Amino acid sequence: MTALSVAAWPARGRLLFPGVLACAVVAAASTFLSQHYGAPVMLFALILGMAMNFLSAEGPCKPGIEFTARHVLRWGVALLGLRITAAQVVALGWHPVLLVAVSLVLTIGVSMVVARLMGFNVLFGLLSGGATAICGASAALALAAALPPHPLKERATLFTVVGVSALSTLTMIAYPLIARALGMDAHTAGVFLGATIHDVAQVVGAGYGMSQATGDTATLVKLMRVAALLPVILFAVMFTRATGKAVGGQRPPLLPWFAVAFAALVALNSTGWLSPSLTTAGSDLSRWCLVAAMAGIGMKTQLRELVDVGLKPVVLMVGETVFIAALVLALLRWAP
């Protein structure tokens, strides 16, 4: 790093500040609304961001919005590693680990195949299937950050975030009713909820809404799905490199820096050296980064771009949600 580049930091900061501040304000407003009305914070960030779409036009906010939507997003993904430890995965035993692995691989694989059959780019199946199988909106943003540039990537990402946020809220309400109707005990219900509901917040709400034991199990299973983010990102990068899916055949880097940082933070958190207050602060910072990035992506998008996607993507995402739920129920019945 040269002295010249360091000297340019103040000017760079002044250039980015208006847009970053706008995204931060929308993130704060989205968090407030989410806490008071119970809807997914990512959905609020997207809607409020789209309402402020005019800020992303030529003007003082544009550079900061671009920076937040791209770079702050990657910081948020990296910091997700502070949510997970190896001990959490080991404590669950082999059966939930195997169940999550099988459901994740099959959901993403089937999504990619079905997306292709429906006429979509196979990467949309990877994006939506990964969001469904891993951790909802956060996974969609992480995978989008790892995928190569494409004219429709931002629109696909936005639609995926909207879809998984809405479906996650619906499943948070419906799946505890299904668990009770099937007579599941606390542990089995926790595995079912943690392995099927899209977003972490909705898993927590559904699990602890049933019982303390169910909530504890559901949260651990869900965090195990979050831990699968790294191998899925690596698969996405290797797949695009192998198939040349990037525009112009440009290959993305084999290992994105934020994926390396994610793995490093998981390893560091697993040592027990980090205090609970530090990991909590890092996890909160990750959430703020992701919400701000979602606001920035929303600001760069117009509503008609979402309307133009049509019905087929909705069918695909609903199908993915039904598929993973049916698969997990079958696996629980086969090997309870």
- CA 84 from chain center: how many Å? 15
User: Could you tell me which of 137, 9, 125 has the C-alpha nearest to residue 145?
Assistant: 137
Q: What b/e sequence results for 82-98 when a residue is b if at least 16 CB atoms lie within 10 Å of its CB, and e otherwise?
A: bbbbeebbeebeeebee
User: Could you tell me which of 211, 203, 209 has the C-alpha nearest to residue 185?
Assistant: 211
pLDDT for 95 equals 85
Structure tokens at 285: 């910072």
pLDDT for 147 equals 83
pLDDT for 252 equals 54
Q: 263-282, pLDDT tens digit by residue?
A: 899 889 999 899 999 999 99
pLDDT for 1 equals 46
Task: Work out how many domains the chain is built from and give that number.
Answer: 1
pLDDT for 3 equals 46
* DSSP state for residue 69 in the 8-state scheme: I
**Which range of residues forms the domain containing residue 205?**
12-334
User: Could you tell me which of 60, 65, 77, 212 has the C-alpha nearest to residue 139?
Assistant: 77
* DSSP state for residue 7 in the 8-state scheme: H
User: Is residue 234, in this structure, part of any structural domain at all?
Assistant: yes
User: Is residue 60, in this structure, part of any structural domain at all?
Assistant: yes
User: Is residue 3, in this structure, part of any structural domain at all?
Assistant: no
User: Could you tell me which of 77, 91, 75, 84 has the C-alpha nearest to residue 222?
Assistant: 84
Residues 253, 170: Cα–Cα separation, whole Å: 37
pLDDT for 116 equals 93
Structure tokens at 294: 């979602």
pLDDT for 168 equals 83
Residues 201, 111: Cα–Cα separation, whole Å: 24
User: Is residue 7, in this structure, part of any structural domain at all?
Assistant: no
Q: 174-227, pLDDT tens digit by residue?
A: 999 999 999 999 989 999 999 999 887 788 778 888 887 888 788 788 878 888
Helix or strand run (H / E) with residue 313: helix 312-334
User: Is residue 235, in this structure, part of any structural domain at all?
Assistant: yes
pLDDT for 56 equals 83
Taking phi first (over 0 means left), then psi (-120 to 50 degrees means alpha), and beta for anything else, what does residue 64 get?
alpha
**Positions of the chain with pLDDT lower than 50, given as ranges:** 1-4, 247-249
Query: At residue 301, what is the residue type?
Result: T
